[in-house]
Amino acid sequence: MFDKQCPVLQELLEGDLSVTITIFYATRRPDLDESVILDCMQDKIYKNDRQVKEKHIFWGLDRDNPRAEITVTEKNDLADS
């Protein structure tokens, strides 16, 4: 199901990345780990999930519309830290 919903970028993101994911679960008994989402984005958004150097993970509850909202950005400033 993820493959049907995730866009495939013409040019995959390169370098270090930051990811923000809000997972809205249907119940209070979550069964989805963000690492599965990161794995599924390989070869669609970026080449390898090891590029993700910063993660912001949030939990939500939406019984009628469980989903994951995902933002991926390039982290050009990590070398300067």
Tens-digit pLDDT profile for residues 1-36 = 888 889 999 999 999 999 999 999 999 988 888 999
Q: pTM of the predicted model, to two decimals? A: 0.85
Instruction: For the chain, list the domains and their CATH numbers.
Output: 2-75 (3.30.1330.70)
pLDDT of 80: 52
Task: Classify burial at 45, counting beta carbons within 10 Å of its beta carbon; exposed 0-12, middle 13-18, buried 19 or more.
Answer: buried
What does the pLDDT look like over 44-66, one tens digit per residue?
A: 999 999 999 999 999 999 999 99
